[in-house]
Structure 1
């Protein structure tokens, strides 16, 4: 039976579903957020995982929750401290820390401390898009649709010839997911893509439970949709955004040239990486609500962290 043009989902879907769930429940990677159904803890893990390898997220996640264990604690925190934690742990774009802080405030002020529990409601929280909302609904409330990330797309493309089309992937993923089991199912299919159906697959070594149904395993053709590559962090704007935040945390208010010399050794006021470049960086951070940029300071433009 087909699900979308070109896709060939097996007729015995019950067997397909149970094979995957049994494989996952027998052995899977242990991440601490898989042992909780607290929506706040799961939201923190989802936001942290967006640009960071899962192995590195564990320490940051545990440290974050030790410092701010509830939405109430995070909502009451100084935003600069939250952004500083993000920077210190190299967790990607600092505006994600700002959004997480704001989402905690929303939960406290607009929902009386109780998380919304559907994907649609969760998207009302600052910085929570469709994917994250669905993940939190699935893993915290067992109330989500099928999660479709890069790993899941790769699995569906190889196993069941699902076309490289977002709508086709959504249709096939939701068609396969057993009703009322989004928590275990989404964990299981993402695990399959993460440990067995990677870019270089390890079907037999990982004991892939879908080998008997898998088109790629039968043909030996493990082509998969292009996987976006993560831009290099070293030398990126993201890296220097983090350095600006860290330097302003340490020094407070800094004149633009003084800041420039502290964040990169090749800073030259009139050079390629000079005032114009740094002004652009500060304007981005200002737009994200992370810094205040006073262009008319007595001794020239001045930057400071927004409190």
Structure 2
């Protein structure tokens, strides 16, 4: 038995029941938790990447109002999908492109029927192992134990699981009852999101694992190291979003007309080569992601959304 499993309490059934009952009694209500539609769940998972859940709700509703089925999304103009993403400040516009391509795959390669296993879902464009497992869990109750930042923090504190990916995966898989991935994964992520936060709220949130929790017993609420998200203001990600927004508004722009809409200090007349090279590099990055086209004009390049 691995060290990770040795640290788990003996009565795992009691641990499982306590968490599931706690979740079912009271949890945050998000609309994607009220459906088993894999398309709606996939949209929520892609939108939720590095975006607070409360901010996702309106965008999710608007997206499904506009493209209510996977076939509708596959038929959509990709520029419209990318524009929607930018308008709703969802970040990383290439996610919109991949979501559109995944919808096209489902329609063309799977006759509109979603694959159901994590391995099959991972074959979709832009769908990594975590997202594939989440969709399998929440749509088909057919997933493995989710191991995200919240889950790692819970397991590290509650059962002194070593800060190693393999150890977290072993512990999470052992704790999850077979055939209960939908409720279990929702519940343990909820625990990390409302009770076992960076600053824990054990008693205030009524944490169901207090009687077994090592951190609650010894007062040491340290947690695994988590990489900090880079600052958005002034970032390349922000500049990419401004390019998309400007091209959505103007259809196409010459590079020197686009530049000031992306960066206020863009001044090609003062240092033409440096500023144009910077913007050209940004556009080529977006072109590589399939979001932008660059047309070589007689005077200067023209950029437009694809």
Structure 2 length-normalised TM: 0.97
Contact 1:143 1:180 in 2 (8 A): yes
Aligned to 2:50: 51
Compute the displacement of 1:4 (Å): 3.5
Structure with greater helix percent? 2
Cα distance in 2 between the residues matched to 1:253 and 1:48: 27
- 3-state SS of the aligned residue for 1:274? helix
Cα distance in 2 between the residues matched to 1:258 and 1:117: 47
Contact 1:4 1:172 in 2 (8 A): no
Give the aligned length. Answer: 304
Compute the displacement of 1:226 (Å): 1.5
Aligned to 1:102: 101
Q: Which runs of 5+ in 1 are unaligned?
A: none
Compute the displacement of 1:291 (Å): 0.4
Cα distance in 1 between the residues matched to 2:272 and 2:163: 44
Compute the displacement of 1:252 (Å): 1.6
Cα distance in 2 between the residues matched to 1:4 and 1:45: 35
Cα distance in 2 between the residues matched to 1:273 and 1:184: 54
Aligned to 1:300: 300
Q: Please give the per-residue CA displacement for 1:250-295, whole angstroms capped at 9, x wherever unaligned.
A: 112211111001222111222797112111110110000000113x
Aligned to 2:197: 198
Greater shift, 19-28 or 224-233, is seen at 224-233
Contact 1:3 1:9 in 2 (8 A): no
Q: Please give the per-residue CA displacement for 1:181-214, whole angstroms capped at 9, x wherever unaligned.
A: 0000000000000000000001011000000000
Cα distance in 2 between the residues matched to 1:265 and 1:27: 48
Cα distance in 2 between the residues matched to 1:9 and 1:128: 32
Residues 4 and 130 (structure 1), Cα distance of their counterparts in 2 relative to 1, 3 Å cut: farther
Structure 1 segments of 4+ aligned residues over 6 angstroms from their partners: none
Aligned to 2:240: 241
Q: Which runs of 5+ in 2 are unaligned?
A: none
Compute the displacement of 1:81 (Å): 0.3
Compute the displacement of 1:63 (Å): 0.3
Cα distance in 1 between the residues matched to 2:6 and 2:88: 41
Compute the displacement of 1:5 (Å): 4.8
Compute the displacement of 1:6 (Å): 7.8
Structure 1 length-normalised TM: 0.96
Aligned to 2:14: 15
Q: Please give the per-residue CA displacement for 1:90-120, whole angstroms capped at 9, x wherever unaligned.
A: 1010000000000000110100110000000
Contact 1:117 1:137 in 2 (8 A): yes
Alignment of 1:76-87 (within 5 A): 76-87=75-86
Contact 2:5 2:170 in 1 (8 A): no
Q: Please give the per-residue CA displacement for 1:67-102, whole angstroms capped at 9, x wherever unaligned.
A: 000000000000000000000011010000000000
Alignment of 1:205-244 (within 5 A): 205-244=204-243
Cα distance in 1 between the residues matched to 2:273 and 2:208: 54
- 3-state SS of the aligned residue for 1:132? helix
Alignment of 1:283-294 (within 5 A): 283-294=284-295
Cα distance in 2 between the residues matched to 1:5 and 1:11: 13
Cα distance in 2 between the residues matched to 1:105 and 1:7: 46
Cα distance in 2 between the residues matched to 1:163 and 1:92: 33
Contact 1:247 1:259 in 2 (8 A): yes
Cα distance in 2 between the residues matched to 1:25 and 1:3: 31
Contact 1:8 1:162 in 2 (8 A): yes
Aligned to 2:36: 37
